[in-house]
Amino acid sequence: MEDENGVEVAKELRSFDRNCILVFTTTSTDHALDGFKVRALQYLVKPYADEELNAVFKEIIEKIPTPDKYIDVNVVGGDVRIRLCEIIFAEHFQHCIHIHTSDGQTTITRKTFSGFMIELEGDERFFMCSRGVLINLEYAKDFNGSVFTLKNGTEIPVSRSLAKSARVAFGDFLFRRGQNNA
């Protein structure tokens, strides 16, 4: 970098993307502290070994979020794409699916509940609480044995026949999330 300072460029990058991944490579350790002040992931001093570079690439790959799946929902006026991570809960009412999302919106589509469930098949975040109602466990704050309380305060009752499955599914979900955050 001829007229530019790497730390200043890093500060500029941080100003418009707080989560970008920065790695400094240099011949000197003189500015290592400055590099970490801008939250650099690593500060490699040349010459570095291939193993060091491979370790940095592995760490970068682990930090890059995997893109979330989505569903295309047919609504009046066309199709809407909804990311699965944004679905809080969905309920079947009067031959329509009401999809409640994290932005406070409700998208309504005319579809069978079983058809909707097929689109979510295999995604362990979703649990069917009763006939025609499912929740995204990411948004569940608590389960008292008969009702899920969601983070937005909504309470979703669970049918008696599914209460034990709900407890197991919620416990498994919390365990997996804890493992992933460890």
Reduce the DSSP state of residue 52 to 3 states and report it: helix
CA angle 119–177–53, rounded 5-degree value: 100
Extract the tokens encoding 39: 């939250």
Extract the tokens encoding 55: 């370790």
Q: Which domains does the chain have, with CATH numbers?
A: 6-63 (3.40.50.2300), 70-181 (2.40.50.1020)
CA–CA separation, 130 and 11 (whole Å): 50
CB 149 within 8 A of CB 141: yes
Reported as a single tens digit per residue, the pLDDT across 88-143 is 999 999 999 999 999 999 999 998 999 999 999 889 999 999 999 999 999 999 99
**Inter-residue long-range contacts of 38-46, CB under 8 Å, 24+ positions, other chains counted:** 38/7, 38/10, 38/11, 38/14, 39/14, 40/10
Q: Which of 138, 136, 131, 137 is nearest to 159 (CA)?
A: 131
Reported as a single tens digit per residue, the pLDDT across 59-96 is 888 888 777 799 999 998 889 999 999 999 999 999 99
